[in-house]
Amino acid sequence: MKIILTDWIKKKEFPKGITGNEKAIVIKYANPSLGVPIAGKGLPKATSLIKAYATSDNGHRRLVYLLRNASGDMILLFFRSKKDKIGSNVTIKNPDFARELDSHIDAAIRDVLNGDFEII
């Protein structure tokens, strides 16, 4: 299993750069058994969404990963504060989350195809 952090997601979710604590949290919670599967519309074939709850140096966080079912690889899509308009309600019923989810998945796939990512 690999944990993939794409360049676009890194810039969007960590605009000041990713700290060591944040990276450790991304790694620790990139495990489907520690998260909760959530629904999503228009997901790429053979993928699932996994939501995880964590506490960082900056407070409570909501993480969302795109799980590639065949390989078990996890692509980080969101790393949000519980107080954020998306982090407060990470479900497809939240229009803010649904809208952002599409753009995050598209950007993550584009970056993976172009080799613009790191494995952490």
pLDDT in tens, 60-71: 999 999 999 999
Q: Is residue 120 part of a domain?
A: no
Give the HSE-up count for residue 7: Cα atoms under 13 Å, Cβ half-sphere: 8
Kindly state whether residue 27 falls inside one of the protein's structural domains.
Answer: yes
Question: What range does the domain containing 22 cover?
Answer: 3-115
Residue 17 in any domain: the answer is yes
Flag whether 108 is in a domain.
yes
User: Which residues, including other chains, have CB under 8 Å from residue 2's CB and lie 6 or more apart?
Assistant: 71, 73, 74, 119
pLDDT of residue 6 exceeding 90: yes
Range in 52-56, 77-81, 107-111 with the lowest mean pLDDT:
52-56
- Using only the alpha carbons of the chain, give its radius of gyration: 13
Number of domains into which the chain is organized: 1
